[in-house]
Amino acid sequence: MNIEIHISHGISGEYNIPGDKSISHRALMIAAIADGVSTIEGCSSAADPLSTRLCLESLGVTFDSMASHYRVEGRGLRGLSGSRKPLKAGNSGTTIRLLSGVLAGQRFSSEIAGDVSLNNRPMLRIFEPLRLMGANIHGTKNNTAPILIDAVPDLHGIEYTMPVSSAQVKSAVLFAGAFAKGTTTVREKIQTRDHTERMLGLATAVEDGVWKTSIEGGMAIHAQHFLIPGDISAAAFLIVAGLIVPHSSIRILNVGLNPTRTELLHVLKGIGASIEIVNERVLAGERIGDLHVVTSDLQGDMMLQGETVAKVIDEIPILAIASLFSKGTFRIKNAEELRRKESDRIASMTANLRTIGVDVEEYPDGFGFEASGSLHGGAIESFDDHRIAMAFGVAGLMIPGITIQRAECADISFPGFWGFLH
């Protein structure tokens, strides 16, 4: 499906966005291995969390749902049952990596794989710590999916220092730790999103500048009522649209404001964005609030590197689009991880920016350009990457003649997104 984007002369109104994908995945998994009946309110209806639900159903979990409200019959730590067929994770890296942590400690064997894109993404990062715990887990000769996980009698706890900043790897190890004998401790130099820790009630401490989280094997996981806030990574596209389109004033409701997820707002405010947080409160252990965004005169350079990159890794495509209209330069370094997303996002962004007239330089670990007023339309290749498609969709509100090719990939994280742009 190709979509032609039309110039906007102003965006206004209140917007609800999909439930947070990261929290939705975790709520589904935790509810599945909890004791008792959990409810999930506001679960994302995007394709990725649906992949998690379908995998869990294949493992014997029962879901009763009405729209985004789920009632989940928890099976307890040892109540899952093996699937006779390979589990299908679709395009979801969160599904395949986190669920591998759950499956690593089971007394049955499993196979899990994804679509062509997911099956090319790196999995050694979860294989290594899970093997240290005693898991019998392996993939292809290139350490990609399909992933085979053989039954083991028991895992054992480990102390693991994260070699890469990845909430998916951290969560996979913590989930496996729930099935292990003893204590499992994860250390990270840069704190990644901490939803798993919050939802499992795990304490996190900082020692000598290192974040440390531990889980006791066999701990009771109680049924809960999960309230899923709006996904700030989805809100990012509407935020930037509201900032760059003249005569805009929008309010995005019930957005998750977890401190590990809000670096996006600080980066945008650094180039003059007018974003106000209103009606802030705490629900189900997560900060949420409404975001009031108005058209802003964006000015200044955006330089992303080091710790900042880890905190905005999912928002980099749309931050680059914001920078196009900031009368400054954009540079991102230390972002090799972008090459291992749904597409090689460094190459994808570079190619599409050149299509619309940007003189962009590509580096092994990033890319850079100077904002230019001489932008023009063109056919944007989505590379079946939802964040690439949506980022250039937002650009099309200001640049005439942009068409997004294979735009349906936006449904992976933001069903109905194209309706927001019309």
By annotation, the residues acting in catalysis are: 314
Residue 280, CA atoms < 13 Å, CB-side half-sphere: 9
Rounded to whole angstroms, the Cα distance separating 422 from 20 reads 23
Rounded to whole angstroms, the Cα distance separating 252 from 257 reads 12
Rounded to whole angstroms, the Cα distance separating 210 from 191 reads 8
Per DSSP (E only), the strands in 351-396 are: 360-363, 366-370, 378-381
Residue pair 19/48 in contact (Cβ under 8 Å)? The answer is: no
Rounded to whole angstroms, the Cα distance separating 58 from 19 reads 23
Q: Helix (H, G, I), strand (E, B), or coil: what is residue 160?
A: strand
Take residue 102 and report the two structure tokens written for it: 């759950």
Query: In sequence order, what DSSP letters do the residues of 88-140 get, joined into one string?
Result: E-TT-HHHHHHHHHHHHT-SS-EEEE--TTGGGS--HHHHHHHHHTT-EEE--
β-pairing verdict for 180-181 and 155-156: parallel
Rounded to whole angstroms, the Cα distance separating 185 from 83 reads 30
Going by C-alpha positions, the residue among 24, 122, 6, 15 that lies closest to residue 72 is: 24
Instruction: Kindly list the distances between the CA atom of residue 82 and the CA atoms of 127, 153, 367, in Å, as whole numbers in the listed order.
Output: 20, 15, 44
Instruction: Kindly list the distances between the CA atom of residue 69 and the CA atoms of 100, 227, 334, 417, in Å, as whole numbers in the listed order.
Output: 25, 9, 39, 21
Q: Helix (H, G, I), strand (E, B), or coil: what is residue 359?
A: coil
- Give Cα 400 to chain centroid, integer Å: 30
β-pairing verdict for 274-283 and 249-256: unpaired
Residue pair 292/55 in contact (Cβ under 8 Å)? The answer is: no
β-pairing verdict for 210-216 and 183-188: antiparallel
Rounded to whole angstroms, the Cα distance separating 231 from 410 reads 14
- Provide the 8-state DSSP code for 328: S
DSSP bridge partners of 362: 367
